[in-house]
Every structure is written in structure tokens, then in C-alpha cells.
Structure 1
Amino acid sequence: MSDPLLASAEASDLTYFAFAASAVDKPVARAEPETPRTAPGELPEVLGGRYRIERLLGVGGMGAVYRARDLLREQFGDPEPYVALKTLSEDFAEYPDANALLYSEFALTARLSHRHVVRLFGFEVDTACQRAFITLELLKGPTLDQLLSERPGGLPWQALSEIVIPLLEALAYSHSLGVLHGDLKPSNVMLADDGLRLFDYGLGQPLDGVLPGLPRLCRSRFAAWTPRYAALELLEGAPLTAAADVYALACVIYELSSGSHPFRRLSAKQAKAMELDRELQRPANLPAHCWPALRTALAFDEARRDIDAAGLLDAFRRPAPGLLQRLLRRTNG
């Protein structure tokens, strides 16, 4: 007999897409018939007459990433003519305006210039097969989910801080420029040869007033999330906010420090119904002075999650109080 909680936990590793009920129930009036749309063709061996696809590197919620050889760079003698190439998966490419959503990811991420955020090169469309694609730096190294599988007991503080601080720097920087990630999870963070990279802003969007003309994923009729890292308000249909990114990253940090998801790999809605937040305790590898900030970031209710990425970063950068400081705190308390 299968365990429904285990099945739920396994499903929560995947990014989930679903049409919201409001979009299904509400009829849409059209002023004129739609023009038939030609489906994108199969991915060719060479995209845009320039990028020869060598192998698949990974598949995400709506896209696939390949290792590709830039034939133009190779022609000019570049000894490392390799790039990563991201295009929409065949299923997702069938959606109207899907290419516009891929461009939105490019426009958002291209705004960011940070050593811990993946670097994008360009956005192009292969007119022959009607496939849009992004070229970006080719990263080598394990993702955090691979690291977690090798360290089931979590990471010691020194190793933990060397991952968490750059990751918080990347998110705080993104938020400072009005860019929300939308799908923070261990598989979207890589420990590259030259440092950590946060990548895959495919479900991200700008804050209000930033890039106002940019096409975006309409979450009122098309919801997208990875259940075990999605904040409760997202699961209940609220728009993506910086606070939702903070919740997701707090789950990742807890997992890195303890080896286990804070809420048994369940969604926030399931965990709140079971009152699992009452059982939360500081992971042994996490310094005591970091715990109050992380505990706040793990709050189910957005109103109680009153800390941002910069606040979390400050808490993790702060040195542990010395013996005298601890004694003074106890005396004054």
C-alpha cells in the first residue's frame, strides 16, 4: 500500500502548473476569430545557424537546457566555444505567446549583473523552426539538491555559510533591482567552479513599476510553483511577492543546515493544517544567533514573515556573540 504523504513529497520536487479555477470558469469574449497558429517545429541540430546542440543538460518546469557549441566563436579560434542554451520544452512551446514568456525571463535576468547570478548572453529566434532560445554561460558543478543527497545530515556551519551568504547576496541583489525569482529551490542553485550561481528565473516577474511593458506569466489564470517551496499565499492564489521568495529560500537554508525539509517535504498548506510549525527547532549546525531570523522567514502567514532577503543576509553575516555579550544579555534580560 502506497503512503500518500510519501507520494505527495515526491510530487513536491516538481514545478507544478495548473489553470486556476477562475480562468476555467470565466468565459472569454473574442472580438474576432483567432488566426491559426503554426506549431513550432522539432529542435534542429543547429539553432539560429550558429549553435550546434550537443546534449541535454536538464529539464525544468517549462524549459530545457542544452550544452551547445557556438560555431561562430569556434570559427574564430575560441578554445572554449561552449554555451548553455535554453529553449521551451516541446509541450510548453505550444502555448500562445510562450516565446514572449521566454523573452521575459531573458529581460529580467539580463538586468542582473552579479557574480552569483547566472550570466545571460542573448535571446534569439530560429525562424525556420519558430523556436525562441536564450544563450547563457555554461556552468559546471553540482546543484544543491545533488549536494543534499550526499550530505543527509546537513552541512557544518563553515560550509553552510559559504553557500548561504552568496545565495542571500544574489537574492537581495535581485530584489533590490525589482526582480523576483519565483521558483527558488535547491535544483536552481549551482556550485560552479568559480562560485555559486542562482539561475532559472523562468517563473519570475518584475515588481510593480519595473519593466512595465514586459510580458509576464499571468498567475491569476495560470499558476506555477514547486509545492514544497511555495509560500502559503501563492498556493491560495495571491500574486508572487518578495516575501514568497524569502519563504522558499528559508526552506532551502533549513534543508542545507539540517539535511531535512522544515515541514517533512510537504506544502505550506498541508504543513499548516498539521501545525508542523509548532515542531520547528533550530538545526544543530545553525548558530543560535541566526535562528530567530530564519524562523521568521519560515512563517506560514505573510504578515508574520516580516523579514526580507537583506535582513536574512545581515543575520547570517553577523558574527556570533562572544561570551561577555551573552552574559550581558542574560543579565539585562
Structure 2
Amino acid sequence: MSTPPSPPNLLAGRYQLERVLGTGGMGVVYRARDLLHEAFGEPNASVALKLLGETFCACPDAHVLLYSEFAVTRSVQHPQVVRAFSFEVDIDQQLAFFTMELMHGMTLDRLLVECPEGLPWQELQPLALQLLDALAYTHWQGVLHGDVKPANIMLGEQGLRVFDFGLGQGAAQMAAGLPGLSRSRLNAWTPAYAAPELMAGGALSASADLYGAACVIYELAQGQRPGTRQPDQPLPRPRRLPTQCWPALRTALAVDPACRSITVAQLREALGTRRRPWFL
């Protein structure tokens, strides 16, 4: 399937596109009105709608890749993960797309711009725990996110939402033989958050997701990214992170994946500890 540079305003006779919410390496996400639900009096008839971007629209299996992302997202039912609704095809326009919940709030990359010194621990800790809860659950479900970074995490009234599984993969989808994303098609990873082994062409893993999450937490606590390092190069403890939490986060940030001897769940447990009162 192919897609014109600008999609029509109405898809499948039902979804009216309103504006672009975001763009990524694989697709474009729009805010859209679901006119069918609106006609039946649904008060919240707006959705987020994802189409393939121009980079992928000419690929012969592009629509299958988009379905793979939808299937991976739909398989994860967690309060801190975006909900996928339906995969559809506009036959007349030859456009595949899927819909998901419309999230309200700001992405963490925007939050970091507003908080250049990082967040106080009492504000950061619940965000870190929600992020790690979401990833621990996705891994338990056999799903890898593949692109954990601030721009793919939304903060709203209901807490965090992790979204954009376009570079991810699920065990069920792999078993079904659905095609995955070939990194040779584009420069997929964001270097500041991608595990070094991914940048070197290695396979996606739960450990790579852990590294990305640890980079996000470090930046939230320090106001700066960990940056590119050599395996033996020390990393300073983030100024907002309690001392007792640093060993676990430092391990999750290990450049050598063999030294990343901790899981997402274990990092969550380490960051969930309370500070000891000073008078004990």
C-alpha cells in the first residue's frame, strides 16, 4: 500500500483527521474525530490515529509492519501503556491505519525542557516506578518496547503512559511469522537512549529496554543525559537520586550488557525503597 504526502481529511468514512500530534521514524500520529461514535452520542469521540510515514509507505510489507505494531500494542493491557483500539484499511485510499486512545498531557522530553535541573525525588519516584511497572509487565507478556525514551512517555492526570511500540516486538507476533522492523531500513534508534549493543547492530532484548528506562530516570534525576561512555568510564550519581538507589541504577546503565546484571523488576524494587530518616 502507498500513501500520499498528505492523507485525506476523512478515512474509512468515519475518522476525520484534525491535526498532527507527532511524527516518528515509522509513522505519523493524528488527532481524529470518530464520527460514528459521535453520531451515537459518545462524549469522548476523539482518538489518536497512526498512519505510516513516507519513509515506509513504499515498502511492500508496510501495512503488515503497521499491523505488527498494532498487535504488539494491543497485547499489552496495562494502566501505564497506551490502549490500542482497532486496525483498519481505507479501501478507496489504499491506506492502512490503527486507532488508539487519545492521551492528554505532555511527553517527558517537554517536561525536561521545563525542568532543566531535574525533578525532586518525591516527584520523580512515582514516575520512575510507573515506567518500570509498565515495562516489567510488557516483558512478562513477552513484549519488548524497543524505543524507551522521554518522547515516547506521556505524563497526564492519570500518571504515565508508555506508547509507540513501532520498534518493538512481541513473542506472539514473532511466532505467527509477522515481519519485524529491519534496522537497515532507517536509523531507527535514538543514540542518547539506545543500548550500546543495539547501536552496534545487536538484537533487541529486555536488557536493552532496561538501559533505555535507566537513561530516562537518570535524566529526570540529573537534568542531563548519561551520554556516550566507555565501559570503564565512571558515571556521577544524579543529584536528585537517593544514595541507596544509585547502585541499582548504575548497574542498569552499564555499557556492557554482560554487566547489566539486573532486571526491570529488580530496578523497580530498588527505587521503591523509602529514604531512611536521618535520626536513625
Shorter-chain TM-score category?
over 0.9
The structure number with the bigger radius of gyration is 1
Q: Does 1:272 align with 2:272?
A: no
Q: TM-score, normalised by structure 1?
A: 0.79
Task: Please name the residue that 2:258 is paired with.
Answer: 303
Q: Does 1:292 align with 2:247?
A: yes
Give the direction of change, closer, same or farther, for the CA distance of 1:190–1:51 in structure 2 (3 Å limit).
Answer: same
Q: How many residues align?
A: 279
Aligned partners of 1:98, 1:306: CA distance in 2, in Å? 36
Q: TM-score, normalised by structure 2?
A: 0.94
Task: Please name the residue that 1:149 is paired with.
Answer: 113
Picking from 53, 56, 59, the partner of 1:92 is 56
Aligned partners of 2:273, 2:209: CA distance in 1, in Å? 22
Aligned partners of 2:175, 2:161: CA distance in 1, in Å? 24
Aligned partners of 1:229, 1:290: CA distance in 2, in Å? 20
Picking from 38, 41, 45, the partner of 1:74 is 38
Q: Indicate the structure whose relative CO is greater, using CA pairs within 8 Å and at least 6 residues apart.
A: 1
Aligned partners of 1:219, 1:89: CA distance in 2, in Å? 16
Task: Please name the residue that 1:10 is paired with.
Answer: none
Aligned partners of 2:25, 2:184: CA distance in 1, in Å? 18
- Give the share of equivalent positions with the same residue, in percent: 54
Task: Please name the residue that 2:125 is paired with.
Answer: 161
Report the CA distance between 1:204 and its aligned residue.
0.2
CA contact (8 A) 1:170 1:198 kept: yes
Report the CA distance between 1:96 and its aligned residue.
1.9
Counterpart mapping for 1:165-204 below 5 A: 165-204=129-168
Q: Does 1:315 align with 2:270?
A: yes
CA contact (8 A) 2:16 2:32 kept: yes
Task: Please name the residue that 1:39 is paired with.
Answer: 2
Secondary structure of the corresponding residue to residue 250 of structure 1:
helix
Report the CA distance between 1:322 and its aligned residue.
5.2
Report the CA distance between 1:90 and its aligned residue.
2.2
CA contact (8 A) 1:51 1:71 kept: yes
Per-residue CA deviations over 1:43-62 (Å, capped at 9, x if unaligned) read: 11111111000111111111
Q: Does 1:106 align with 2:70?
A: yes
CA contact (8 A) 2:72 2:173 kept: no
Report the CA distance between 1:222 and its aligned residue.
6.1
Give the direction of change, closer, same or farther, for the CA distance of 1:218–1:69 in structure 2 (3 Å limit).
Answer: same
Aligned partners of 1:220, 1:321: CA distance in 2, in Å? 49
Aligned partners of 1:316, 1:211: CA distance in 2, in Å? 34
Task: Please name the residue that 1:227 is paired with.
Answer: 191
Aligned partners of 2:93, 2:8: CA distance in 1, in Å? 8
Per-residue CA deviations over 1:209-250 (Å, capped at 9, x if unaligned) read: 964422211347766211111111111111111111111111
Secondary structure of the corresponding residue to residue 313 of structure 1:
helix
Task: Please name the residue that 1:52 is paired with.
Answer: 16
Please tell me the residue identity of whatever aligns with 2:149: K
The unaligned stretches of length 5 or more in structure 2 are none
Secondary structure of the corresponding residue to residue 54 of structure 2:
coil
Q: What is the aligned-residue RMSD (CA, Å)?
A: 2.0
Please tell me the residue identity of whatever aligns with 2:45: P
Secondary structure of the corresponding residue to residue 283 of structure 1:
coil
CA contact (8 A) 1:220 1:237 kept: no
The unaligned stretches of length 5 or more in structure 1 are 1-37, 326-333
Report the CA distance between 1:312 and its aligned residue.
0.7
Please tell me the residue identity of whatever aligns with 2:212: A
Please tell me the residue identity of whatever aligns with 2:265: A
Q: Does 1:282 align with 2:246?
A: no
